[in-house]
C-alpha cells in the first residue's frame, strides 16, 4: 500500500466492554504476577532478574545493569497504572522469569494530543528465549492497558520490527578515556567505540576524546523551584516535532529533580532559565572480567 493511501487515525474502533477480563493463558508451571515498584522485595526481584537477563550486546560480552534506585525511579512514574508492571513467575519457586511494564503518557501526534500506553522494559529469562513468551507478555500488557480505555501504545526497539513511525540515532562519546581503556584493553576495541580511522594510535584516540574546557555563565544544578520553567522551556522546544511527549508538572518533577546516582539536571540561568540539560546513568558490566563502566544518557 502506498503511504498516501494510509488513512491517519485509529486502526480500528475497540470497545472497552469487549476486552477480555481475565489474563491470557500461560504455559503450564508458570503464573502471572503484578509487581509493585514501591515494594522493596519486588524491586530486589526485578533488579536480580534484569541484572542477569536484560539487554546484552551481540556476543553477550556486555550487559546493561540497572541499580535498584534507578529501577524505583523509572518504575514509579506518576502515570504508572497499578497493574501495568506485569511479571511471569515459575509457579513453584516464584522465580521471576519474564517482565513487561508500561505507563500512560500524553503524546501529541501532528498536534493531536492522545493518551497512550508507553512500554518500558521487556525481558525474558535467557533459558526461556525463543519460546514465544514475548507475544504473550505483550498481549497481556495490551489487555491491561485497554481495560483503562487506552487503545494506542508506543514502544521502542533496537531491532527492526514493522512498521516504525520514528527512527532514533544514538550518538556516543567517551568522557573518561583511561577508564574505558581499562574495560576495553585493546586498541581495536577502543577504535570501534570511537569509530575512527582504523589506523589511529591510542594517543590520537585519547586526544580526540579530550573534553573542552568550558565555563558557562549561570550554569547550576536544578532545584525543585525550577520545574515549571523547565517544563515550559522543554514543551516549547518539543513543539517542532511531529510526535512528542507533553511534560506535565508532575511528570517533570519526577523525571528531572536530581537523585544521586540516578538522574542529574542542570540549568543555565540568565534572567530566567534559558537552557536545560538532564541525564540519567546506567552501568554496563563485562561478563568475563566483571569490570563496569557507566554511560550517561541525555534526556
Q: Is 161 in the site for ligand COA (CB under 6 A)?
A: yes
Report if residue 168 touches ligand COA, rule: CB under 6 A: no
Binding of ligand COA at residue 55 (CB under 6 A)? yes
Residues in contact with ligand COA, counted by CB under 6 A, come to a total of: 15
Residue list 125-154, contact with ligand COA (CB under 6 A): 129-135
Shortest reach from residue 232's CB to ligand COA, in Å: 32
Q: How far is the CB of 108 from ligand COA (least distance, A)?
A: 23
Identify which of residues 87 and 252 has a Cβ nearer to ligand COA in the complex. 87
Comparing CB distances to ligand COA, the nearer of 100 and 233 is: 100
Q: Is 122 in the site for ligand COA (CB under 6 A)?
A: yes
221 binds ligand COA (CB under 6 A): no
86 binds ligand COA (CB under 6 A): no
CB of 96 to ligand COA, least distance (A): 12
Q: 70 or 247: whose CB is closer to ligand COA?
A: 70
Contacting ligand COA (CB under 6 A), which of 49, 54, 177, 280?
Answer: 54
Interaction between residue 158 and ligand COA (CB under 6 A): yes
Asked whether position 30 contacts ligand COA by CB under 6 A, the answer is: no
Rule CB under 6 A: say whether 165 interacts with ligand COA: no
Q: Given the C-alpha cell 554496563, which residue does it identify?
A: 284
Is 162 near ligand COA (CB under 6 A)? no
**Among 79, 92, 96, which Cα is nearest to 34's?**
96
Point out which residues bind ligand COA (CB under 6 A). 54-55, 122-124, 129-135, 157-158, 161
Amino acid at each position: 500500500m502506498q503511504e498516501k493511501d494510509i488513512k491517519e487515525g485509529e486502526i480500528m474502533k475497540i470497545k472497552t466492554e469487549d476486552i477480555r477480563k481475565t489474563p491470557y493463558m500461560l504455559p503450564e508451571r508458570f503464573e502471572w504476577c503484578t509487581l509493585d515498584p514501591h515494594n522493596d522485595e519486588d524491586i530486589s526481584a526485578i533488579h536480580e532478574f534484569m541484572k542477569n537477563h536484560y539487554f546484552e550486546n551481540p556476543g553477550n560480552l556486555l550487559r546493561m545493569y540497572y541499580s535498584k534506585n534507578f529501577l524505583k525511579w523509572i518504575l514509579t512514574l506518576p502515570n504508572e497504572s497499578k497493574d501495568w508492571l506485569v511479571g511471569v513467575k515459575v509457579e513453584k519457586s516464584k522465580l521471576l522469569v519474564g517482565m513487561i511494564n508500561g505507563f500512560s503518557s500524553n503524546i501529541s501526534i501532528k498536534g493531536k494530543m492522545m493518551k497512550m500506553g508507553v512500554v518500558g522494559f521487556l525481558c525474558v529469562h535467557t533459558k526461556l528465549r525463543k519460546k514465544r513468551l514475548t507475544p504473550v507478555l505483550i498481549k497481556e500488557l495490551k489487555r491491561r492497558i485497554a481495560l483503562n480505555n487506552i487503545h494506542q501504545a508506543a514502544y521502542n526497539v533496537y531491532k527492526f520490527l514493522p512498521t516504525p513511525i520514528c527512527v532514533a540515532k544514538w550518538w556516543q562519546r567517551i568522557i573518561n578515556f583511561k577508564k574505558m581503556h581499562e574495560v576495553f584493553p585493546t586498541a581495536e576495541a577502543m577504535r570501534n567505540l570511537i569509530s575512527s580511522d582504523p589506523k589511529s594510535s591510542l594517543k590520537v584516540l585519547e586526544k580526540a576524546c579530550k573534553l573542552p574546557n568550558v565555563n558557562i555563565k549561570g550554569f547550576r544544578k536544578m532545584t525543585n523551584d525550577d520545574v515549571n520553567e523547565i517544563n515550559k522551556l522543554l514543551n516549547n522546544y518539543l513543539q517542532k516535532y511531529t510526535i512528542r511527549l507533553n511534560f506535565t508538572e508532575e511528570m517533570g518533577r519526577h523525571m528531572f529533580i536530581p537523585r544521586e546516582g540516578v538522574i542529574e539536571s542542570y540549568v543555565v540561568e540568565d534572567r530566567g532559565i534559558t537552557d536545560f540539560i538532564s541525564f540519567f546513568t546506567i552501568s554496563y558490566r563485562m561478563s568475563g572480567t566483571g569490570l563496569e563502566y557507566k554511560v550517561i544518557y541525555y534526556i
